[in-house]
Amino acid sequence: MAASLPIEIIDVLRTQPGYSICVKGPPGSCKTTLVLTLLRDLSREHNGIYVSARVNVDKLHRTFPWAKTCLLQSNIIDAMACNAESDSSTFELLKYRTNLGLVQSIYQKISSLQDPIVFVDSWTEMVRIASGSSKDLFDMFCDLCLEQGARMVLVVETSSQTELDHLVDGLIEMGTVEHRGHVYRYLQIKKLTGISHDLRKQLVEVSDEGLEVRGPVNGSDVVGKD
């Protein structure tokens, strides 16, 4: 059985072209696991593009074997690759030095897909590799997504507030919380513009099938709409 994720996140990424979500948190908070679980659950027609700017693609496949069926090599853009030692016929090795080159390459990937979703892991590294400002690169991504009817999920390697928090439509925070004497990982939807959503921290567990939400840290009912 597929691991469960908040239905609000799934619905908005299925139904809102141009929608952008930032997933943020410290190292070890399961951001990549969340992104790959979303990729699996949302890419039934292999319409998900994974831009890898932090983790080697081969290591991704070894670390997350359950994601191999959705993490197609033909749909991976390896922004870390600086040489062509791997078989270029298997997947295209790309290295980006300008914002324009990055966006053009992603455009080529998604222009032939229906309802594409772009996952960038991580946005922090992508900005560094592209040698530009976060806002300029984000504006280019937004233009691309709006033109192609795509959605995007961007991973940020910090729990601190960033400029991107205010630019995206949705913000998901990952972290750890102490509950009844134990430390657990959690997921919290900080905002989903235009969508009613649970504001509580949700306990999450990693299984052989991805990330699974186990329920709120506490039992109070708190729902908001951004």
Could you give the angle at which helices 123-130 and 99-110 cross, rounded to 10 degrees? 120
pTM of the model: 0.84
pLDDT digit string, tens, across residues 120-139: 998 888 888 777 678 888 88
Cis before 196? omega within 30: no
Q: Rounded distance, CA 70 to CA 50, Å?
A: 10
DSSP 142-187: HHHHHHHT-EEEEEES-SS--THHHHSSEEEEEEEEEETTEEEEEE
Q: Residue 1's pLDDT is what?
A: 37
State the CB neighbour count (10 A cutoff) for residue 73. 15
| Better pLDDT: 140 or 20 | 20
Q: What are residue 20's phi and psi, to 5 degrees?
A: -125, 135
Q: Rounded distance, CA 39 to CA 117, Å?
A: 8
Total length of the chain: 226
What is the pLDDT averaged over residues 99-104? 63
Indicate the pairing of strand 20-24 with strand 151-156: parallel
pLDDT digit string, tens, across residues 18-58: 899 999 999 889 999 999 999 988 877 778 889 888 777 78
Question: Collapsing DSSP states into helix, strand and coil, what is residue 188?
Answer: strand
Q: What are residue 165's phi and psi, to 5 degrees?
A: -55, -35
Residue-range domain boundaries for the chain: 7-225
Residue closest to 121 by CA, chosen among 75, 54, 170, 33: 54
Q: Residue 139's pLDDT is what?
A: 86
The domain defined by 7-225 folds into Rossmann fold (3.40.50)
- Give the N- to C-terminal CA distance of the chain in Å, as an integer: 32
What are the DSSP E strand ranges found in the chain? 20-24, 48-52, 76-78, 117-121, 151-156, 170-179, 182-192, 196-198, 202-207, 210-216, 223-225
